[in-house]
Structure 1
Amino acid sequence: MDPRGRQVSVERWGVYELALDGPAAGNPYRDVPLRAEFQHRNRVVPVDGFYDGAGCYRIRFMPDAEGEWRYVTRSTASQLDGRRGTFTCTPPAPGNHGPVRVAGPRTFAYADGTRYLPLGTTCYHWNHLDDLDREEETLRVLADAPFTKVRMCLLPTGGMDPPRLAFAGDSPETLDTTRFNPAFWRHFERRLRDLLALGIEADVILFHPYDEGRWCLDRMSPEEDRFLLRYAMARLAAYRHVWWSLSNEYDFNTHKTVADWDDLGRFVQRHDPYQRLRSIHNGTRMYTYERIYDFGRRWITHQSIQHWDARLTARWRDACPKPVVIDEIGYEGTAERRWGNLTGRTLLRQLWHAAVEGGYVTHGEAYPDAGRDGTTWISRGGRLHGESVPRIAFLRRVLEEAPADLVAARREGTYRLEFTGAAQPAYRDVELPDGGDYRIELIDTWNMTAAELPDGPHRGRVRVELKGRTDMALRIRRVA
């Protein structure tokens, strides 16, 4: 900080924040526009500011290049217009790899080129109900878990009675969609920063269809939707680990059409200065049908799919050259609904099916009888009770040791994973590419062991004895 309390430096891909005093009368959220132009050399990046209550306006910016940045503010309010300043962008701190980007048709990477594996989990409303002890417990669990992404909602469901909402008002009768509640957003941002400190991406679900007619936030006008999106991007987009999930189970919302979702997706694409990852998530009737979005739309960066069978990963992968993330495949647990009573082994099996085809599956857990208040991990976080998490950690280690693009490596004949799933064959005959020597390892995905086949390296056809065991994988690597 300089003697006037202004921030003078920020690391690359960190957050530079400018706070300004301005008008508080009327409705500043709606009536006082604020923008800033940040310039590095000949490049100018326009950024929206936002009103944070009590006469305070803020502008947040993520610099992506080292060196001096200059800025100037623009507003119809004279107190906020024409404010100028500079700051220095310094090298990133250890562990700061920048935002995640799509690196190829099947892969992700951080901005500095470091590989990223989207092994996520779902905690829809873990930070909405002002249970600080539970929130801290959730963060402790995440710190020890293998997850690299958390799916979390911005808006409440119809059955919730949260102490704070994104909009002003604390009841359906007092809800005011022309104003926001800064206290809600500050708490949401606090938890986003906690996730950032853990190295976990935040997949923010902007809309969902579970309002049940209570808050009516699923049936706002296009203008109200855009008002919310513009404010959310102004406040949250500067955090490098934020992703945008435009909607969860978009097709269950009967108040919007696919054309409406496309309009909103393009709106986010236009107004996000950092082009964070963007997708949208379909609903499904478990084991009956699904309405997967057309992910070929230009505003979508990756596929966010709900489906019960990860063996279809290759189909989705080949149909659209964007990474496949099955963000909902069913949850480990004992819930009454079919989507929430998978065994740990069944869920883990789905992760492996996707992985060998170059895709990813998001974890979820629904043990309503195990929580202290009957709520589950997918709804409010807390503790994990299932068996899949340590096995997902083992899978993560396997993938971290593998090439980033397993499909390309298999085509090149340098590396491949095979997985038996629920089958229990006595053996498997492996055909190795001509002209190479290969090491073969037999992996027990449930017991988390890996043993190399003797008498290697191998060539030609190799018979691998499986002895009728399920959930076995083969890791086949060409010897240099």
Structure 2
Amino acid sequence: MNILQPKVFFYLFCLVQLELYAQPKIERWARFEAEWTYASGGNLFREVQLSARFVGPDTTFTVAGFYDGNNHFKVRCMPTQTGTWTYTTSSNKKELNNKKGSFECVNATGNNRGPVKVSDVHHFKYSDGTRYYPLGTTAYAWTHMGQGLQEQTLRSLQNSGFNKIRMCVFPKNYELVKEEPELYPFAVREVKKDEKGNVLNVWDFTQFNPAFFQHLEKRIDDLNRLGIEADLILFHPYDKGRWGFDAMPHEVNVQYIKYLTARLASFRNVWWSLANEWDYVKSKTVADWDALTQAVVESDPYRHLCSIHGSTATYYDYWKPAFTHASIQDDAPVRHSGGVSTLRNVYHKPIILDEVGYEGNLKSRWGRYSPEEMTHLAWVGVMAGTYVTHGESYMFKDASDTIFWAKGGPFKGTSWKRFAFLRKILEEAPSPLSMSDVSRDYRTSSAGEGYYFVYFGNEVNDSWVFNLPAKNGEGPKLTAGRRFKIDIIDTWDMTVQAVPTVFETGPETDYRLFDKDLKKVRLPLRPYMALRIKEIK
């Protein structure tokens, strides 16, 4: 008996050590989740308060927990630093209070570059420092369509080159989007019929429907695997009394925000868009929008990107600190680069023209842009150091068509391919673009010292005399004796052709430097041509 005791002690000691050191390993910017069960006869959404304090290397987050149905409660964390993290829960229920645990945060791998953040005032980077250029698209209600169509949407996105998608949390009731969703965000209190015999759900706004949010989470994770940011639109006006989600009481809106952020703030590819066309939501004032925006910011410990979108040429006060960037519906600024570059100077934040119009064939003027025009506006935007979102709205039969702008599905247009080409051009440049000589030269942009773009838009030219502005944005001025090579970019045919000639700048003349021998570049007689001009070191 005495001989066996040390062995038993050693065995138990090993078990204890294994339990202490076998911590879960979570990648940096991935999602850690802890779960417990608690049951009672009451409304667990209202009855239980749960939060957790996560402590990591030089970082502490306090996150809200949430009820996920079937007596399950969860807390989630997105660790931002490698090393050991510990957590302790707080709750008004003893069964959920003072729960403790830990995990090890390890280096990110593969395509995990972390959340997108603002960089260099007007641009974006992933958290690991990689440049991010938002070349995105729009599919407002794609997660509310049938499962087959949702899978088709993901297949389309996988082959598209888009790295952002604008999408609504709530379903959409619009002339071109009439499908009834399978899931709703709230529990149904009772079912009634109106005077015409239509079935109406009466919602219990005190109880969320976890299945609705679980499905949304699945689709956000699907997008993450494709490298796509989910620009979530939290409210919109396209309800018109069908469900009533556009006219909920303010306290319900706040509870919805808190529940949504508790579930989704730990998803690294989430952006918050408070509304689409906020000014058309007649039940809310500017003060309401400010309060709801503040609720989002206060509920998100990781400070994901956040903005709000208005109707055409309706601008919010984007300089408010709650907004990380401006999300704008207006095509006027991108009719030439000088217009949209002015917005940068006004807001001193990244500018995303999230709706300039859509490629399509609709009767509405906003939905009948040619693919060439859609592509052109995107190039005008990036030349000014801003960004333009793609959209596609083709209808060949009737409103039951899978119009991508509304429902997702397959792409039927052609500009989407050109957005992927533009993204590749941008990612090959050493830095984001900005106008070289803002308000004076609407054609020339810089991507760092010795790296320029010239975009001719819809002009048709047979040649171009080499000349660049002396100014180079915020960089050092161009001087004489610098040698350059040029690529001709066909933005529509998506080709790049090297020019064999070497060009050299002569002396400055009236703020510009021409080739010292006035050499020219022979151009194709086609619109939408651009030049990429790189210095030879």
TM-score for both structures, normalised by structure 2 = 0.84
The residue number in structure 2 matching 1:302 is 325
Q: After the TM superposition, which of the residue ranges 372-381 and 50-59 deviates more from structure 2?
A: 372-381
* CA separation of 1:34 and 1:475: change in aligned 2, threshold 3 A: same
Three-state SS of the structure 1 residue aligned to 2:246 is: helix
The residue number in structure 1 matching 2:187 is 168
Three-state SS of the structure 1 residue aligned to 2:205 is: strand
Q: Do 1:52 and 1:182's aligned partners in 2 also have CA atoms closer than 8 Å?
A: yes
- 1:162 Cα deviation from its structure 2 partner: 1.2
Give unmatched runs, 5+ long, in structure 1: 285-289
User: Residues 388-428 of structure 1: CA distance to partner in whole angstroms, max 9, x if unpaired?
Assistant: 12222211111111132222772865222121212224443
Q: How does 1:377-396 map to 2 (within 5 A)?
A: 377-396=404-423
> Which amino acid in 2 is paired with 1:112?
D
1:336 aligns with 2:363: yes
Q: After the TM superposition, which of the residue ranges 154-163 and 469-478 deviates more from structure 2?
A: 154-163
1:479 aligns with 2:536: yes
**Equivalent-residue separation in structure 1 for 2:367 and 2:464 (angstroms):** 33
**Equivalent-residue separation in structure 2 for 1:244 and 1:401 (angstroms):** 28
Q: How does 1:106-121 map to 2 (within 5 A)?
A: 106-121=122-137
User: Residues 238-297 of structure 1: CA distance to partner in whole angstroms, max 9, x if unpaired?
Assistant: 01000000100111112212222111112211120110000011111xxxxx11212101
- 1:30 Cα deviation from its structure 2 partner: 2.0
The residue number in structure 1 matching 2:494 is 448
Three-state SS of the structure 2 residue aligned to 1:262 is: helix
Q: How does 1:57-96 map to 2 (within 5 A)?
A: 57-96=73-112
Q: Do 1:107 and 1:405's aligned partners in 2 also have CA atoms closer than 8 Å?
A: yes
**Equivalent-residue separation in structure 1 for 2:91 and 2:223 (angstroms):** 33
The residue number in structure 2 matching 1:37 is 53
Q: How does 1:200-349 map to 2 (within 5 A)?
A: 200-284=228-312, 290-309=313-332, 310=334, 311=336, 312-349=339-376
Q: Do 2:487 and 2:498's aligned partners in 1 also have CA atoms closer than 8 Å?
A: yes
* CA separation of 1:437 and 1:66: change in aligned 2, threshold 3 A: same
The residue number in structure 1 matching 2:5 is none
The residue number in structure 2 matching 1:18 is 34
> Which amino acid in 1 is paired with 2:149?
R
User: Residues 338-397 of structure 1: CA distance to partner in whole angstroms, max 9, x if unpaired?
Assistant: 111111101000010011111111111111217994130111111001111222221111
**Equivalent-residue separation in structure 2 for 1:111 and 1:295 (angstroms):** 23
Q: What do you get for the CA RMSD once the two structures are aligned?
A: 2.1
The residue number in structure 2 matching 1:100 is 116
Give unmatched runs, 5+ long, in structure 2: 1-17, 192-198, 437-444, 469-477, 507-513
**Equivalent-residue separation in structure 1 for 2:40 and 2:293 (angstroms):** 32
The residue number in structure 1 matching 2:208 is 180
Q: After the TM superposition, which of the residue ranges 86-95 and 22-31 deviates more from structure 2?
A: 22-31
Q: Do 1:7 and 1:17's aligned partners in 2 also have CA atoms closer than 8 Å?
A: no
Q: After the TM superposition, which of the residue ranges 312-321 and 200-209 deviates more from structure 2?
A: 312-321
> Which amino acid in 2 is paired with 1:154?
V
Report the identity percentage: 40
> Which amino acid in 2 is paired with 1:449?
T
Three-state SS of the structure 2 residue aligned to 1:190 is: helix
Q: Do 2:378 and 2:387's aligned partners in 1 also have CA atoms closer than 8 Å?
A: yes
**Equivalent-residue separation in structure 1 for 2:356 and 2:307 (angstroms):** 17
The residue number in structure 2 matching 1:154 is 169
Three-state SS of the structure 1 residue aligned to 2:304 is: coil
Q: Do 2:429 and 2:447's aligned partners in 1 also have CA atoms closer than 8 Å?
A: no
The residue number in structure 2 matching 1:287 is none
Q: How does 1:133-152 map to 2 (within 5 A)?
A: 133-152=148-167
Q: After the TM superposition, which of the residue ranges 36-45 and 261-270 deviates more from structure 2?
A: 36-45
* CA separation of 1:388 and 1:24: change in aligned 2, threshold 3 A: farther
> Which amino acid in 1 is paired with 2:496?
A
> Which amino acid in 2 is paired with 1:262?
D
Count of equivalent residues? 472
**Equivalent-residue separation in structure 2 for 1:114 and 1:85 (angstroms):** 32
**Equivalent-residue separation in structure 1 for 2:502 and 2:231 (angstroms):** 44
* CA separation of 1:273 and 1:412: change in aligned 2, threshold 3 A: closer
**Equivalent-residue separation in structure 2 for 1:270 and 1:206 (angstroms):** 15
1:398 aligns with 2:425: yes
1:124 aligns with 2:170: no
- 1:132 Cα deviation from its structure 2 partner: 1.5
* CA separation of 1:426 and 1:337: change in aligned 2, threshold 3 A: same
**Equivalent-residue separation in structure 1 for 2:447 and 2:431 (angstroms):** 13
> Which amino acid in 2 is paired with 1:14?
A
**Equivalent-residue separation in structure 2 for 1:60 and 1:196 (angstroms):** 17
> Which amino acid in 2 is paired with 1:18?
A
User: Residues 200-241 of structure 1: CA distance to partner in whole angstroms, max 9, x if unpaired?
Assistant: 111011001111122222122221111000000001110100
The residue number in structure 2 matching 1:415 is 451
> Which amino acid in 2 is paired with 1:208?
H
- Report the structure number with the largest CA radius of gyration: 2
**Equivalent-residue separation in structure 2 for 1:172 and 1:307 (angstroms):** 36
- 1:470 Cα deviation from its structure 2 partner: 1.1
Q: Do 1:120 and 1:148's aligned partners in 2 also have CA atoms closer than 8 Å?
A: yes
Q: Do 1:21 and 1:57's aligned partners in 2 also have CA atoms closer than 8 Å?
A: yes
Q: Do 1:104 and 1:322's aligned partners in 2 also have CA atoms closer than 8 Å?
A: no
* CA separation of 1:134 and 1:7: change in aligned 2, threshold 3 A: farther
1:470 to 524, 527, 536: 527
**Equivalent-residue separation in structure 2 for 1:382 and 1:50 (angstroms):** 32
**Equivalent-residue separation in structure 2 for 1:421 and 1:319 (angstroms):** 25
* CA separation of 1:471 and 1:42: change in aligned 2, threshold 3 A: closer
* CA separation of 1:105 and 1:450: change in aligned 2, threshold 3 A: same
